[in-house]
Structure 1
Amino acid sequence: MIKRIHIFGASGSGASTLGRELSELLPHTLHDGDDLKSLFEVVIFLYVPQDSRVNRLQERALFRYGDDRLIYY
């Protein structure tokens, strides 16, 4: 059984909502990242334009799974 799930996303992406929903369905405790902010001294946010991210993800999926499992947008 899965012991830990890390859900993350940009503000407003629904990560906290999904975490709350899953914690009600699964035997897991929710630790919202917003509640942990005070524990960090440095936070680094990386931005990559969407087209670059999609290309990277498609290349990674092709390498890992082959062409038959890719979903193109």
Structure 2
Amino acid sequence: MHGDKFMDVIDFIPESGNVTADQFVEWVFLAEYENESERMSPRWDRHRQRIQDYFVEHMGSDAVDASQLKWEVEG
């Protein structure tokens, strides 16, 4: 929760432009933890690296167009 809103990583992805693996990882943690000290805790370093590695593995690059990260969920 951020204030009174549930946040998801997709809420931070821009409509266009490049998104780097580093940015994506930051947005994952921003969506998960409102408190900056919790987001930046060294205890998450290993997880940050793993998410970054998965991003590169899955996307095939350390930077991709934002449109590649947008998807629609069918209800």
Q: Normalization by structure 2: what TM-score? A: 0.29
Structure whose alpha-carbon radius of gyration is higher? 1
Normalized per residue, the structure richer in helix is: 2
Normalized per residue, the structure richer in strand is: 2
Greater relative contact order (Cα < 8 A, sep 6+):
2
